[in-house]
Structure 1
Amino acid sequence: MCTVNGKFHLITSLFTYFSGIPVFESTDLISRKQIGHGITRKKQGVFFSQGVSKGIFAPTIRYNNGTFYVICTNGFKRKNSANNWQFYRYITHSRFGRFSK
């Protein structure tokens, strides 16, 4: 969670669901409104056919000098590999426009 101009911005895990990483805005941390998603394009990662305990985990959102940053992990099954995790950094320059990878 981060605070920008008196508003709280929160994000949550959605694991293998697409669109991913819902973004919420709140002024009081009691009521909130969904204002977008951190992942809006399928090419941003591996999301489908991952099964239980895979997908996007523990995203965090930060803000610095007009830019929102979302950092998360994507756990998935790779063939013939012991490394089943990717780390992503998604960046947006506008108020939750399209994030880049």
Structure 2
Amino acid sequence: MNGIITPKSNRYYVVQKEPVLLTEQHLRSLSSDDLQPIRLTKPWLQAFGFQPDPSAYSWSFENARLVAGMNCWLCIKSRRYIQYVHELQDLFEEHFHETNLVLTSHSFYI
């Protein structure tokens, strides 16, 4: 990962080829080189409870709506582009005041 991003607890990253919800213990014991961001994909959106519209072009969860772009997602409300799972988690913490998106399923790919 680049040096600009500082990983936070309660965010998903890949650690040793597995998706992991980081804890304070992980942050103390792992270096940022051990962490890889997870690309935000449709299976991850579904795992967080997002539902596609009939065209599968946009996905909604509560009052959040994401529109698919070329290599990212656009949040309609915040106008923020999102590429990674931890960015979606940051978005929910900052704009929707929901600190933890809860996985409803574990059928996703990294």
TM-score by length of 2: 0.30
Higher helix share: 2
TM-score by length of 1: 0.32
